[in-house]
Structure 1
Amino acid sequence: MSTQTQPWLTILGIGDDGVDGLSQAARSALQAALRIYGGARHLELLQGGSVSADCEMKAWPSPFSKGIEELAANRGQNTVVLATGDPQWFGIGATLHRQFSAHEIEVIPHLSAFSLAASRLGWPLQHVETISLHGRPLDTLRGFLYPGARIIALTSNGAAPGEIADLLADEGYGASLLTVLEHLGGPQEKVTVCEAEEFTGEAAELNTVAIEAKPIPNTPVLSRTPGLPDSAFRHDGKMTKQEVRAVTLAKLAPIPGQLLWDIGAGSGSIGIEWLRAAMNTRTIAIEPLEKRHAFIRGNAAALGTPQLQLVEGKAPEALDDLPQPDAIFVGGGLTSTDIIKTCFEALPSGGRLVANAVTLEGEQVLAQGWKKYGGELSRLAISRADPIGGLTGWRPMMPVTQWSLVKS
């Protein structure tokens, strides 16, 4: 049995048109508020109307957590938090819902920058990649590039459009059509369209960037389906090769929102492809060798997954205090059953474990794990065509023994 609480906290979306663009419900919330929080720009938009004379208007404090503490200290008092556009779409809404119950909160959204941009461009929004680069690494964009992609990106500042144009040119997408939309929905709205490689200068601090991706000839196309070419990764030779990687990811079964431990990450290829394969996934890559840490970080940035978390250490000791995984891959360091035991115990019911080995010693560890915990044991043998003198023959790669299971 639950007791519903009357909402006291209103998260209110506001556009660049200020008070004029607010609904009657939004105006009523502002009139009833004892306290209003927002950024300096938000508070300026309210000047001249819709706010009670007794209302206290406060710029959101720094650090961010201090604002949360102030809201909690004044729980139950009518409070409005201003946000740009739709607070639930890459906005403050998600953060506040983690701190307070849904019964305490009323959300009054405004038109999002995504909706406004799509309406200006005539793009069907359900077919558009909508991403936020606001306060996030610009390298995130690399993971969304493919021929014909339509992308709308929120940005952090006026320099961002130029940085995006440079990144597109770097990736072989300099021919892409770049649309910079400044002050969407407001009296200062401005739209600039050009090819990415032709963009120069800066934009207004408040801007949104739309991209119609077009590669130049011979630009590699990198699918989000697992099994990228080996050449997509920098490595020292110790990496899970393309064909084995595709099979391994199929057994790991990436699911949106889930966490992978990539143990003995090497180049980071398994963890990176896990992140590319499904939305909002997370990877913790565990790698003891310092010389490979640069490979992992560089590959993650280059392939659009800068959110990959690297733990510099050796399993099983480095696994202490990590959040519970939904899937685990063991690609290196299989010298004893200690790692297998630790991994199996860490998984929840339904969690997936996949371990690969190329040595006899590693095979013995996998065989022991298979006998104790069950699952499937298989051997993957791949051969690639290779020149032999003036002819062509099959050159076998080292066979890989793979053990996989779903914990029941």
Structure 2
Amino acid sequence: MSDTTPDAPWLTIIGLGEDAPDGLSGASLAALKAAEIIMGPPRHLALLPDLAAEQIAWPVPFSAGVPVLLSLRRRRVVVLASGDPFWFGAGSTVCKELDAGEWTALPGPSTFSLAAARLGWALQHTACFGLHAAPLSRLRPALAPGARMIVLLRDGEAVTEIAGYLTDAGFGASDLHVFEALGGPRERRGDLTAHAITGSSFSHPVCCGIRVRGEGAVLTRASGRPDDWFESDGTMTKQPVRALTLSALAPRDGEHLWDIGGGSGSVCIEWLLSHPSLTAATIEPRADRSERIRANADRLGQDRLQIVTGEAPDALAGLPPPDAVFIGGGLSEDLLAWLAGNLAPGTRIVANAVTLESETVLVRAHAARGGTLLRFEMSRAAPLGKRTGWKAAYPLVQWSVAL
């Protein structure tokens, strides 16, 4: 056993480049030489010089290695990771299981930094994605002509897959800058066009710099996206109402939404599109609509949406508590009473009504609990014989309140 004191870090996380050991800092080399055990992927272990420490290959899946690491507490341990372990890396996964004084980190240059340096791109204006285990649809909100992104990929085959994804989305003219073994002696670069990548092969580790070109549909940044982004059986919060609803919900970084009566999922998906730190759960009684919500969310890169098939309030049990709640279906006085009795003070509630019965529920809620009660009347220009007239939609009543 080591003589590591309780107050001293027993774990050092080292970010390696592909040029190790040449690229190792003096502090990293000292930590490796002092280590009793070194854990890391076989690829990283193979880069090390001869050392006295025992070597343990990190297992697959990654989560399986965390209990192994924790069993080594109080020995001198080094964990190897790629580049900067805290940018789409293993660092945060490991450290969330430890107290602050148990570990220290020696990061290396990130793959994003190295790729930007090769391309001459301003990293602060470049979207960065880690898609080792995430779907390519995560890119969808960022696809717009002129956009630049750097994407970490799981293996060489994923390069062909991302080229196909861009082409299918209407952005086959995009420039792909493919980097293999970036930062090491095996580094190789290929500059291609997405629709012309057929027949090429690439080796892990690999990343892509993408300059988006083409005429594909662009997902706007403002809430109230066009309805045709969402598959629906007709039950959905339409574009103008959705914009008003998202404005009332007022998402803030890191918040969680309950969307009760999901329909097509348009409200909770737009909530998630507001910022990647946001989370949401939608509750939908019908299984077929739940499946449609999942398809809509996945297509727009919001695969982190939790979908619960069931009736509120019973289906709400056990869900992470929300910061905001939208009631788009199933509105009743009993549901509002349950929310008021079970949610934390300050939770925001927004409810929409188009029928007289549901409007009555909101008028009573406003009288009892306060908040803001609004009535919207909207019309669209539509053919009227050979001319054009206004076609009115059903009036919408919206109640919003903070408990």
TM over 0.5: yes
CA distance in 2, matches of 1:4, 1:349: 41
CA distance in 1, matches of 2:310, 2:197: 43
Give the match for residue 41 of structure 1.
43
Give the match for residue 406 of structure 1.
402
CA distance in 2, matches of 1:120, 1:239: 46
Give the match for residue 164 of structure 2.
166
Asked whether the equivalents of residues 325 and 346 of structure 1 are also in contact (C-alpha less than 8 Å), the reply is: no
Paired amino acid for 1:37: M
Paired amino acid for 1:344: A
Once the two structures are superposed, residues 55-87 of structure 1 have per-residue CA deviations (whole angstroms, 9 ceiling, x without a partner) of 110011355444322332322211111101100
- Please tell me whether residue 312 in structure 1 is matched to residue 309 in structure 2: yes
Q: For structure 1, which runs of at least 5 residues remain unmatched after alignment? A: none
Give the match for residue 233 of structure 2.
236
1:75 to 67, 73, 88: 73
Q: How many residues align?
A: 398
Give the match for residue 375 of structure 1.
371
- Please tell me whether residue 206 in structure 1 is matched to residue 202 in structure 2: no
CA distance in 2, matches of 1:346, 1:29: 51
CA distance in 2, matches of 1:389, 1:220: 33
1:357 to 334, 353, 357: 353
What does 1:29-178 align with in structure 2 at a 5 Å threshold?
29-46=31-48, 48-49=49-50, 51=51, 53=52, 55-62=53-60, 64-178=62-176
Paired amino acid for 1:206: P
CA distance in 1, matches of 2:245, 2:265: 14
What does 1:279-298 align with in structure 2 at a 5 Å threshold?
279-298=276-295
Q: For structure 2, which runs of at least 5 residues remain unmatched after alignment? A: none
- 1:152 and 1:344, CA in 2 relative to 1: closer, same or farther beyond 3 A? farther
Once the two structures are superposed, residues 299-338 of structure 1 have per-residue CA deviations (whole angstroms, 9 ceiling, x without a partner) of 112212122111111111100000111111110111x212
Paired amino acid for 2:177: T
SS of aligned partner of 2:399: strand
Which deviates the most, 300-309 or 181-190? 300-309
CA distance in 1, matches of 2:214, 2:254: 30
User: How far is 1:214 from its partner?
Assistant: 1.5
SS of aligned partner of 2:151: strand
SS of aligned partner of 1:255: coil
Give the match for residue 22 of structure 2.
20
1:227 to 206, 224, 227: 224
User: How far is 1:147 from its partner?
Assistant: 2.2
Asked whether the equivalents of residues 327 and 347 of structure 1 are also in contact (C-alpha less than 8 Å), the reply is: no
Paired amino acid for 1:389: G
User: How far is 1:6 from its partner?
Assistant: 1.5
- 1:147 and 1:350, CA in 2 relative to 1: closer, same or farther beyond 3 A? farther
CA distance in 2, matches of 1:183, 1:120: 13
SS of aligned partner of 2:22: helix
Question: TM-score normalised to the size of structure 1?
Answer: 0.94
1:366 to 341, 362, 365: 362
Which deviates the most, 130-139 or 349-358? 349-358
User: How far is 1:144 from its partner?
Assistant: 1.6
Asked whether the equivalents of residues 14 and 78 of structure 2 are also in contact (C-alpha less than 8 Å), the reply is: yes
CA distance in 1, matches of 2:64, 2:238: 48
SS of aligned partner of 2:336: helix
Asked whether the equivalents of residues 290 and 308 of structure 2 are also in contact (C-alpha less than 8 Å), the reply is: no
Asked whether the equivalents of residues 18 and 183 of structure 2 are also in contact (C-alpha less than 8 Å), the reply is: yes
2:338 to 322, 339, 342: 342
Give the match for residue 269 of structure 1.
266
Paired amino acid for 1:396: A
2:385 to 361, 369, 389: 389
Asked whether the equivalents of residues 257 and 326 of structure 2 are also in contact (C-alpha less than 8 Å), the reply is: yes
Once the two structures are superposed, residues 31-72 of structure 1 have per-residue CA deviations (whole angstroms, 9 ceiling, x without a partner) of 1111111011111111x34x2x2x110011355444322332
Which deviates the most, 35-44 or 372-381? 372-381
CA distance in 2, matches of 1:373, 1:191: 62
Give the match for residue 215 of structure 1.
214
Give the match for residue 196 of structure 1.
194
Once the two structures are superposed, residues 350-401 of structure 1 have per-residue CA deviations (whole angstroms, 9 ceiling, x without a partner) of 3221111111111122222222222111112111111111111111111111
